[in-house]
Amino acid sequence: MPTSNVMTTAYYYSLIQRIFEAAGFDVVMCEGGSLKGYRINKKNDVVVVGNAYPAVKLWLKGYKRICTWYQGVVPEERKMQGCSSLYVYLHSLVERKSLRVTSFFFIISESIKAHFEKKYGTSIETSRSAVIPCFNETDTFDNCFVPGVKKPFSFVYSGGMGVWQCFDKTLDVFKEIKRKIPVATVSIFTFQVDKAKEIVEANGLRGVEVKYVPKEEMNQALSDKMFGFVLREDNTVNRVATPTKFSNYIANGVVPIFSDCVEGFATASRAMKYSIPVSKYDVNGIVDEIIPKAKRIVETYSAVDHKKECDNLFASYYSEGEYIKNVSAKIRTLFNANER
């Protein structure tokens, strides 16, 4: 049962589908996020949902085999969006119940697993869970790793304008980088073009490229960009997150500049030369960390070495083949053990 944001989550759902198929299941993708019109055995059929609410609803209707994909921490997200304490509390009640009625857990990071276990005093067994980060690329693009293709000190921001995405701060950081490195450029790729343009103009930036780039054109748009922003504030929402844009950047040879509170990617990329983690959260502190690292990368850049690093990440952290093999084995064991 895909959630309403299926356009941005389509790859993850297709990965889950292939995992179940590898485990020996026949899989049906329900149109419109509803089970109406489908003949389902509530005891034996497995239903996969994308958040806590449908999991609890299905349990109330008598479904026995529910798999839940936890894309984030909804109560904490709602709090950041200014919802009332009561609303946040109700979200937590639903989330807690979903953890108790879920048969198998798809979780985006070890951090979100630890968060659930600490917040709700529960234990999510390894045998009943799979930690798979959000991603929608599975390999590097050769055209992005050609010597001379990357423009030195070219920066990009790809994403939305959500409060947790720190777009305003990103612009403040770039303004300071531009002041110290005048040749620096930035491009903004977002589906919220009008809003982004307003913010860019309000910040007094000129000559900034702002446009919407469809997924099929993203490779060309990112091919000559050298650095990509993923700045975040240090809070629960960001600590547990695994932003999809990391896989976009890595596939296209864009060096991610990211806050190290994004724990999943920070751990996965710890040995990488072509990444710039930052530990500060004030603009000047962030810039002071970025500039010497960015200059060193520009001065010593090797497209061959960069591609090797990115390929290694797709062979491990973003390896769909490994996830299909390992998770399908868990699912096969779990549900076969519970057959009638």
Q: Could you state, in order of their start, the residue ranges of all structural domains in the chain?
A: 6-133+319-337, 142-314
CATH code assigned to 142-314: 3.40.50.2000
Angle between helices 167-180 and 193-202 (to 10 degrees): 50
What is the phi/psi pair of residue 278, to 5°? -125, 140
- Please tell me the distance from the alpha carbon of residue 286 to that of residue 277, in angstroms, as a whole number: 10
Measure the CA–CA gap between 139 and 274, rounded to whole angstroms. 17
How far the first Cα of the chain sits from its last, in Å, is 24
Q: Angle at the Cα of 165 (from 108 to 113), degrees rounded to 5?
A: 20
Amino acid letter at 39?
A: R
Helix (H) / strand (E) element for 57: namely helix 52-60
How far apart CA 266 and CA 269 sit, in angstroms, is 5
Helix (DSSP H) and strand (DSSP E) numbers for the chain: 14, 10
Tens digit of each residue's pLDDT, the chain (340 residues)? 988 766 678 899 999 999 999 999 999 998 777 788 888 999 999 999 999 999 999 999 999 999 999 999 999 999 988 899 999 999 999 999 999 999 999 999 999 999 999 999 999 999 999 999 999 999 999 999 999 999 999 999 999 888 888 999 999 999 999 999 999 999 999 999 999 999 999 988 988 999 999 989 999 999 999 999 999 999 999 999 999 999 999 999 999 999 999 999 999 999 999 999 999 999 999 999 999 999 999 999 999 999 999 999 999 999 999 999 999 999 999 997 444 3
CB-based burial label for 191 (10 Å; 0-12, 13-18, 19+): middle
Question: Given phi > 0 = left and psi -120 to 50 = alpha, else beta, which region is 166?
Answer: left
Same fold flag, 6-133+319-337 and 142-314: yes
User: Are the C-beta atoms of 100 and 231 separated by less than 8 Å?
Assistant: no
Residue in the structure block whose two tokens are 């779990």: 334
Give SS3 for 85: helix
* Assigned token pair, 304: 């061959």
CA distance 235 to 238: 6
What letters, b where the CB count within 10 A reaches 16 and e where it falls short, cover 102-120?
A: bbbbbbbbebbbebbeebe
Structure tokens, 283: 């603009």
Class of domain 6-133+319-337: alpha beta
Q: Which parts of the chain are beta strand (E)?
A: 46-49, 65-70, 104-107, 129-131, 154-158, 185-189, 209-211, 227-230, 255-259, 276-278
**Pairing mode, if any, of strands 276-278 and 255-259?**
parallel
Tell me the C-alpha distance between 113 and 72, whole Å.
Answer: 10
Beta strand extents in 175-304 (DSSP E only): 185-189, 209-211, 227-230, 255-259, 276-278
